[in-house]
Amino acid sequence: MPPSSIDRDTTMPTLHNLGFPRIGQGRELKFALEHYWAGQSDRATLEHTGRQLRHTHWQQQAALDFVPVGDFAWYDQVLTLSATLDVIPERHRQGDTDLDTLFRVARGRDQQAACCHAASEMTKWFDTNYHFLVPEFEPDQRFRLAWRQIIDGTAEAKAAGFNPKPVILGPLSYLWLGKFSQGDSADKLDLLPRLLPVYRQLLAALKDAGATWVQIDEPILALDLPAPWQAAFEPSYHQIQVQGLNTLLASYFGPLQDNLGTAIQLPVAGLHIDAVRGASEITRVVDRLSAHKVLSVGIVDGRNIWRADLDAALATLKPLHAKLGERLWLAPSCSLLHLPYDVERETTLPADVKPWLAFAQQKLDELTLLRDALLSPGHADIQARLADARAIQTARRDSPRVHNPALRKRLAALKDSDALRATPFSEREPLQQQRWQLPLLPTTTIGSFPQTPEIRKARAAYKRGQLNKHDYNSLMRAEIKRAIVIQEQLGLDVLVHGEAERNDMVEYFGEQLDGYVFSAHGWVQSYGSRCVKPPIIVGDISRPHPMTVEWATYAQSLSDKPVKGMLTGPITLLCWSFVRDDQPREHTAQQLALAIRDEVQDLEAAGIGIIQIDEPALREGLPLRNSDWPTYLAWAAHAFRLASSGVGDSTQIHTHMCYSEFNDIIEAISALDADVITIETSRSNMELLAAFEHFAYPNQIGPGVYDIHSPNLPSQAWVESLIEKATARIPRQRLWVNPDCGLKTRTWDETRAALAIMVNATKALRQKWLKAPLSAA
């Protein structure tokens, strides 16, 4: 970080950060965890890596007035808090909580793999691609301070000479995000009276460890909250006050809207607001803020990688600074967990694009510059740096990279009918059945097969130039052949090529589309040790050449059974990329849809007649406020149909979704008009099918019959019982049998064994139904 150019001043705004990435610039935490889990290193080694990372990260934030503590987590920050509060499911307890306890909750097993109980559920963190571990409560849940990681971290930062600001999730958001392990009849708010004293105890311990400020995150303030939840805030925050410890209440990911009154009145010392997504309400907040409170303005975008428009930011900040003076704090809009570390490390980004980008480190630099510009606007050095920033904005806006006139013309010429299949499903279905002749309960998989270390090594060598294209392609073809042979041996009905050639289902497509750039080191944690490197959409999207046709036709040439073409849909490409901020997301989605449409049509022309377009992020893309849903769902479904509708009636379009609360979006799912949808359902015991039943969903469905996240094998009886359960809700003629999701994170042994069980269960049911056809639904 460049040194600040100004001297301290009595009206100086405080600089702080809501959270920093934790996985390590070189993904050190990922590798340390995976070594530890594999039994290749001991706990002391893992702990050493963690300590080094924390210190490195504090050092990188040393120019701030506070460094965050508690943003470091061994697996997930919500899980850390659960351990802190002793919310550990009974099945994972073994004596006192330690690191292995956390890993048992998260992964269903510990280092010794001694225990094989179901892992806790993982779900998406608001509208991000980060997953947290859902706290599991019992109706008689007790809380107690049982894990001192955040307290020890605070003392550790203090001892190392930093000014620590612990960050914890607030009691209301914590309860909101959790669930009762047995159904949801009880009211989570009933747990508050038992929870709050432990929060207070935790805060007192943080103070004793040297904290003067604590940041309490209540991101649910960006959601539509039921009145009892709104009302619970004020009394709760009264109860957890600790003398001599200042509380900064942080909301982010959206405007406060009807929660503004709640947030502004809380007995806290300060409020953090997301001034990027909530820009429109800054003035209202300032007007109502009491005179003793600080206001932390989240002025640079913590969710995206663009350099800020500093002139616009200063225009916002100047009146706030004039009014608040040193009560003004500056921060990113949210934790920087969702960004890579440092754009300066990038060596392969196009030279013209690199200056447009700000990763975590650059976001903090922007804060320093903003503060300096507020205090010493006339300083020559500051003027020069602001001028540089201005030139970057202009260069980006005018870059030919951003504008593709041919694409714009194509968009303008689109007709409504381009986003509709020519024939309704009821007429397509018999044509498809005639063409494909599939048995009752067709079996298939979701696309990916194990990404073995050999595949990853080959790709790494290819990218480093140590393996030529021909040899790399031969190796990937060998992997595809292996996948096809195994699927034929298993007796699956609709095969896949296995996605060996893909580093990731989004990055792979990003790398082949014009309008994208990609980083070499821009890793972001997705869950636990798993990371993604989101590609970056900088301009109008177009597809210079087919992306998957060669692999798909090669795979199909190896089998007489149909092999599904496999694509990622426009909404998932949008959600899992860093997107441009200079046009509405729906326009970008439409451009992506056109590129996928071209690919779908090329696959069809090459003889691939079953094509899956994955949309696992459809649900995650939902805006946080209900009032914004209809608009989003309309353009999202339109984008999917634009991608999928350019094919003949007998071409069968599949889609796949995981992580979905289908109740919320069943109409939109129906509006996709996919011939077949495969969904994640096994962990909910097929309960998720209720939405499809109630809505009388007309098309075909493959409810997942086993959880691919766990290495544990399902039993055949269990799989049969799940399929039978599904037939209670969906007519058997419309059911498919498949796993919950892709198998890339599993080993081949696990995959083969689980799929054999799935196929045997299917065959057994087909037999049973032949003998007793009258039990048909």
Ligand X SMILES: Nc1nc2c(c(=O)[nH]1)N[C@@H](CNc1ccc(C(=O)N[C@@H](CCC(=O)N[C@@H](CCC(=O)N[C@@H](CCC(=O)O)C(=O)O)C(=O)O)C(=O)O)cc1)CN2
Active site residues: 709
CB of 3 to ligand X, least distance (A): 33
Give CA angle at 502 (304, 545), nearest 5°: 85
Residue 30 annotated as lining a ligand binding site = yes
29 or 240: whose CB is closer to ligand X? 29
Q: Which residues contact 67 (CB under 8 A, 6 or more apart)?
A: 17, 57, 58, 61, 157, 162, 163, 164, 165
Q: By CB under 5 A, tell whether 613 contacts Zn ion.
A: no
**Among positions 263, 375, 658, 735, the unique one binding Zn ion when judged by CB under 5 A:** 658
Question: Judging by DSSP bridges, how do beta strands 294-300 and 328-332 pair with one another?
Answer: parallel
Residue 503 interacts with, from Zn ion, ligand X, ligand MET, none (CB under 5-8 Å by kind): ligand X
Q: Binder to ligand MET among 448, 451, 651, 681 (CB under 6 A)?
A: 448
Residue 486 C-beta: closest distance to Zn ion, Å: 20
Smallest separation, CB 621 to Zn ion (Å): 15
Nearest approach in angstroms of CB 478 to ligand X is: 16
Asked whether residue 124 is marked as a ligand-binding residue, the answer is yes
Measure the CA–CA gap between 169 and 337, rounded to whole angstroms.
Answer: 14
| CA-CA-CA-CA dihedral for 404, 409, 415, 419, to nearest 10 | -10
Q: Is 32 in the site for ligand X (CB under 6 A)?
A: no
Contact status, residue 642 vs residue 417, Cβ threshold 8 Å: no
| Residues whose CB falls within 8 Å of the CB of residue 287, separated by 6 or more in sequence, listed in order | none
- Given the rule CB under 5 A, which of 57-65, 178-186, 314-322, 652-660 is the region that contacts Zn ion? 652-660
Nearest 5°: phi and psi at 338?
Answer: -90, 10
Task: Tell me how far the alpha carbon of residue 378 is from its chain's centroid.
Answer: 42
Q: Which of 161, 378, 405, 453 binds ligand X (CB under 6 A)?
A: 453
One residue of 446, 538, 547, 701 binding ligand MET per CB under 6 A:
446
Find residue 578's DSSP bridge partners.
536
Q: Can you tell me which residue has the tokens 């013209």?
A: 352
Q: Does 658 bind ligand MET (CB under 6 A)?
A: yes
453 binds, among Zn ion, ligand MET, ligand X, none (CB under 5 to 8 A by kind): ligand X
Query: Is residue 531 part of an annotated ligand binding site?
Result: yes
Residue 585 CA: distances (Å) to CA of 437, 456, 537, 540, 572: 40, 32, 11, 12, 12
Contacting range for ligand MET; rule: CB under 6 A; set: 199-207, 386-394, 441-449, 746-754: 441-449
> Annotation-wise, does 448 bind a ligand?
yes
State yes or no: residue 576 binds ligand X (CB under 6 A).
yes
Smallest distance from the beta carbon of 722 to ligand X, in angstroms?
A: 22
Query: Side-chain half-sphere of 465: how many Cα atoms within 13 Å?
Result: 0
What is the per-residue binding string for ligand X in 510-529, x denoting contact by CB under 6 A?
Answer: ----------------x---
Compute the least distance from the CB of residue 617 to ligand MET, in Å.
8
DSSP state at residue 4: P
Q: Which of residues 501-530 bind ligand MET (CB under 6 A)?
A: 505
Q: Which of 744, 757, 762, 765 binds ligand MET (CB under 6 A)?
A: 744
Interaction residues for ligand X, span 525-564 (CB under 6 A): 526, 530-533
Compute the distance between CA of residue 278 and CA of residue 222 in angstroms, rounded to an integer: 9
Judged by beta carbon distances under 5 to 8 A according to partner kind, the member of ligand MET, Zn ion, ligand X, none in contact with residue 566 is ligand MET
Q: How far apart are CA 262 and CA 22, in angstroms?
A: 32
Stretch that binds ligand X, among 174-182, 289-297, 358-366, 452-460 (CB under 6 A): 452-460
Comparing CB distances to ligand X, the nearer of 129 and 361 is 129
567 is in an annotated binding site: no
Report in angstroms how near the CB of residue 564 gets to ligand MET at its nearest: 9
Least Cα distance to 532 among 17, 23, 20 occurs for 23
Q: Does 504 count as an annotated binding residue? A: no
Task: Give the DSSP H/E element, type plus range, for residue 610.
Answer: strand 610-614
Measure the CA–CA gap between 775 and 114, rounded to whole angstroms: 42
- The reply on whether position 503 binds ligand X by CB under 6 A is yes
Does residue number 348 form part of the binding site for ligand X (CB under 6 A)? no
14-15 and 328-332 beta bridge pairing? parallel
Please give the residue whose beta carbon sits closest to ligand MET in the complex: 742
Six-digit token pair at 331? 């921060």
Scan residues 249-278 and list those touching ligand MET (CB under 6 A): none
**Candidates 242-250, 404-412, 421-429, 741-749; binding stretch for ligand MET (CB under 6 A):** 741-749
Residue 229 labeled ligand binder: no
- 28 has binding-site annotation: yes
725 is in an annotated binding site: no
58 known member of a binding site: no
DSSP state of 280: G
Applying CB under 6 A, does 614 fall inside the site for ligand MET?
yes
Can you tell me which of 120, 443, 451, 660 binds ligand X, judged by CB under 6 A? Answer: 451
Q: How far apart are CA 670 and CA 667, in angstroms?
A: 5
Which window, 48-56, 546-554, 643-651, 739-747, contacts ligand MET (CB under 6 A)? 739-747
3-state helix/strand/coil string of 194-234? HHHHHHHHHHHHHHHCCCCEEEEECHHHHCCCCHHHHHHHH
* In the complex, minimum distance from the CB of residue 448 to ligand MET, in angstroms, rounded to a whole number: 3
Which residue, 108 or 616, has its beta carbon nearer to Zn ion?
A: 616
Q: Give the sign of the dihedral formed by CA 696, CA 700, CA 704, CA 708.
A: negative
Whether residue 680 is annotated as binding a ligand: the answer is: yes
**Beta pairing, strands 213-217 & 164-169:** parallel
How many other C-beta atoms are found inside a 10 Å radius of the C-beta of residue 474? 13
What's the length of the chain? 777
Q: How near is the Cβ of 598 to ligand X at its closest, in Å?
A: 22
Other residues' Cβ atoms within 10 Å of the Cβ of residue 498: 30
Q: Beta-strand (E) ranges in 20-114? A: 67-69
For residues 555-594, which are near ligand MET according to CB under 6 A? 566
Site string for ligand X, 606-635 (x = CB under 6 A): ------------------------------
22 binds ligand X (CB under 6 A): no
Burial label for 31, CB within 10 Å (0-12, 13-18, 19+), is middle
Q: How far is the CB of 122 from ligand MET (least distance, A)?
A: 12
Both tokens assigned to 273: 């607001």
How many residues touch ligand MET under the rule CB under 6 A: the total is: 12
Contact between 129 and ligand X by CB under 6 A: the answer reads yes
State in angstroms the smallest separation of the CB of 524 from ligand X. 9
* CA-wise closest residue to 104 among 126, 94, 119, 90: 119
Residue 566 touching Zn ion (CB under 5 A): no
- Scanning 21-29, 231-239, 271-279, 740-748 for contacts with ligand MET by CB under 6 A, the matching segment is 740-748
Chain residues 696-755 in contact with Zn ion, contact rule CB under 5 A: 741
Question: Contacts for 246-249 with beta carbons within 8 Å, 24 or more apart?
Answer: 246/212, 246/213, 246/214, 246/270, 247/203, 247/213, 247/214, 247/215, 247/216, 248/165, 248/213, 248/214, 248/215, 248/216, 248/272, 248/294, 248/296, 248/329, 249/170, 249/216, 249/218
**What is the C-alpha to C-alpha distance for residues 144 and 153, in angstroms, rounded to an integer?**
19
- The C-alpha atoms of residue 642 and residue 596 are separated, in whole angstroms, by 9
Annotated binding-site positions for 5-methyltetrahydropteroyltri-L-glutamate: 27-30, 124, 129, 530-531, 576, 620
- Binding site residues, Zn ion, CB under 5 A: 616, 658, 741
Residues forming the site for ligand MET (CB under 6 A): 446-448, 505, 566, 614, 616, 656, 658, 741-742, 744
- Residues forming the annotated binding site? 27-30, 124, 129, 446-448, 499, 530-531, 576, 614, 620, 656, 658, 680, 741
Annotated binding site for L-methionine: 446-448, 499, 614
Chain residues binding ligand X by CB under 6 A are: 129, 451, 453, 456-457, 459-460, 503-506, 526, 530-533, 576, 745
